Amino acid sequence: MRSPAEATPGLVYVPDLQSAGATVTLSAPESHYVGRVCRARAGDRVTATDGRGRIANLRIAGVGARVSARVEVVDERERARRAWVLGGAPEGRRADWLVEKLAELGVERWQPLECERAGWGHQAGRAARWRRIAIAAMKQSRAAFLLEIADPLPLAQALRQLPTGATRWLARRDGAALPGAPVSGLSVAAVGPAAGFVSDEERAMVAEGFVPVRLAESRLRAETAALAWAAWWAGGAGQPSA
Amino acid sequence: MRSPAEATPGLVYVPDLQSAGATVTLSAPESHYVGRVCRARAGDRVTATDGRGRIANLRIAGVGARVSARVEVVDERERARRAWVLGGAPEGRRADWLVEKLAELGVERWQPLECERAGWGHQAGRAARWRRIAIAAMKQSRAAFLLEIADPLPLAQALRQLPTGATRWLARRDGAALPGAPVSGLSVAAVGPAAGFVSDEERAMVAEGFVPVRLAESRLRAETAALAWAAWWAGGAGQPSA
């Protein structure tokens, strides 16, 4: 007999989740997790998300090298509030945990910025590593949305890609006090690299409607500032739904 | 000739900082930093803090195995707002970066909690490692206060040690929406371990005036919840002083 823990897989990531009635094949790591770690068998149910708002109940059809499953019910969710974080490079590998925390807090997009005082350079495997971290955080949070991870862009280019109408915030030690967090729409934060933005960069952002805000009394590291902003945003989620 | 960067040490930690006129001896690591890394010489000035609110200008008297310096001016600061975080054990070594982030955000005290579902166990060197992390974060933030790190305590005992009059918050997924952060006084947060508090623990806290609050829409890891609360608190610092 299997213990209940073995029989209850957590949220499974299925990027190509289809409509009810379809059969899907889980990826190799998810198949391993469901079939070997959780020891699920044909007939068992698992919950899956496509990372784009869909949550589905799956009924396992077959367990082998790849697990196949039938989509039973699909529920589609929309984001009522969205957040993007544009950030310069922090020191060392500190961006790894930043990606994890942004994903947990429900940020929609992480846009690394190539800045005057720091670039992201080329690091083999970084994009794949960040994606694995973001997927793990989504599953951990039982969330229906996967953090989008953009390739690093020069600031000017990143600014051009911002949708109009988004509220825009610039993390700055001498900025204004934070207001209440927005309860809807798209909010965008820009956070400098470890050594900070240069004045020209800040001017360009202020010209594009970014409001300088102060996140704490003390000087924050780059990744802490990004995280503090995301936590402020996440705290504006409004009344609990559960 | 020395470059300007070599001649300008950052904030130095001197726990036994005395009154103006006194001579202090820097610790071995701070002596190494000031004398070897920054190549400061007799006559140079450095800024020091005792981690308890005092910031002083020091004039270096002698540079050797230990650096000695004369205290010129001492400025005493007080915390207008204070925050304590009581927390159960997160997974693995995640508490290490939590300590760093709480220190950066200006939290006064970190109180690890022994909880029903998770204890802190005995880990050789953990207290010393946390202290090193907190000191580094204080220096990095150019702050005058060092995060106090308490030894792990059972929840009941930690609750008995709370000052009366503190506002108290309990991180809970189905809690109320966060209000505006308090701008003065002592605020205390309680965050469960990775597996969460048990009902009895939550009841005990609610009986002691803890208000359940929701920090984000999604499920947060233990250390992310603690961090999100601290960021919310830090964001209430009010109007910038600079």
Tens digits of per-residue pLDDT, A8-60?
678 999 999 989 999 999 999 999 999 999 999 999 999 999 999 999 999 99
DSSP notation for A62-73? EESSSEEEEEEE
A77 contacts in chain B (CB < 8 Å): none
Estimate to the nearest angstrom the gap between the alpha carbon of A136 and the chain centroid. Answer: 10
Tell if the CB–CB gap between A220 and B105 is shorter than 8 Å: yes
What is the arithmetic mean of pLDDT over A175-195?
A: 91
pLDDT higher than threshold 60 for residue A205: yes
B173 contacts in chain A (CB < 8 Å): 240, 242
Helix or strand run (H / E) with residue A206: helix A199-207
For residue A181, the model assigns a pLDDT of: 81
Tell if the CB–CB gap between B219 and A176 is shorter than 8 Å: no
- A106 dihedral zone (left: phi>0; alpha: psi -120 to 50; beta): left
B240 contacts in chain A (CB < 8 Å): 173-177, 214
B140 contacts in chain A (CB < 8 Å): 219, 221
**Phi, psi of A216, rounded to the nearest 5 degrees:** -160, 170
Please tell me the distance from the alpha carbon of residue B174 to that of residue B41, in angstroms, as a whole number. Answer: 58
A217 contacts in chain B (CB < 8 Å): 106, 234, 237, 241
Tell if the CB–CB gap between B216 and A234 is shorter than 8 Å: yes
Q: Of residues A37 and A6, which shows the higher confidence score?
A: A37
Tell if the CB–CB gap between A231 and B237 is shorter than 8 Å: no
Tell if the CB–CB gap between B218 and A177 is shorter than 8 Å: no
Cβ-Cβ contacts under 8 Å for A60 (sequence gap 6 or more): A34, A40, A41, A42, A43, A44, A45, A46, A67, A68, A69
Nearest CA in chain A to B79: A217
A235 contacts in chain B (CB < 8 Å): 177-178, 215-216, 228, 232
For residue B238, the model assigns a pLDDT of: 58
For residue B63, the model assigns a pLDDT of: 93
Name the pTM for this structure: 0.91
Interface of A with B (CB under 8 A): 97, 101, 104-106, 140-143, 173-178, 180, 214-221, 224, 227-228, 231-232, 234-242
Residue A3's pLDDT band (cuts 50, 70, 90): very low
Residue A4's pLDDT band (cuts 50, 70, 90): very low
B77, B147, B218, best to mutate vs chain A, most A CBs in 10 Å: B218
Least CB–CB distance from A239: residue in B142, B177, B219:
B177
Tell if the CB–CB gap between B240 and A142 is shorter than 8 Å: no
Nearest CA in chain B to A215: B235
Least CB–CB distance from A143: residue in B106, B174, B218:
B218
- Type of residue at A112: P
Tell if the CB–CB gap between A105 and B216 is shorter than 8 Å: yes
A12 near A44, Cβ under 8 Å? no
Tell if the CB–CB gap between B234 and A224 is shorter than 8 Å: no
B217 near B174, Cβ under 8 Å? no
Distance to chain B for A38, nearest Cα, Å: 19
Q: Across all residues in chain A, what is the average pLDDT?
A: 92
What is the arithmetic mean of pLDDT over A59-67?
A: 94
Query: Residue B163 corresponds to which tokens in the numbers above?
Result: 């000052």
A11, A97, A98, A104, best to mutate vs chain B, most B CBs in 10 Å: A104
For residue A238, the model assigns a pLDDT of: 58
Residue A90's pLDDT band (cuts 50, 70, 90): very high
Distance to chain A for B124, nearest Cα, Å: 25
Q: For chain B, report the end-to-end CA distance as a whole number of angstroms.
A: 34
| CB pairs A-B closer than 8 Å | 118
Tell if the CB–CB gap between A231 and B216 is shorter than 8 Å: yes
Distance to chain B for A147, nearest Cα, Å: 13
pLDDT higher than threshold 70 for residue A239: no
Q: Which of B41, B43, B37, B47 has its CA nearest to residue B6?
A: B37
Please tell me the distance from the alpha carbon of residue A116 to that of residue A71, in angstroms, as a whole number. Answer: 49
For residue A87, the model assigns a pLDDT of: 98
- Type of residue at A154: P
Low-confidence ranges of chain B (pLDDT < 70): 1-8, 237-242
Please tell me the distance from the alpha carbon of residue B111 to that of residue B150, in angstroms, as a whole number. Answer: 5
For residue A58, the model assigns a pLDDT of: 96
Tell if the CB–CB gap between A177 and B239 is shorter than 8 Å: yes
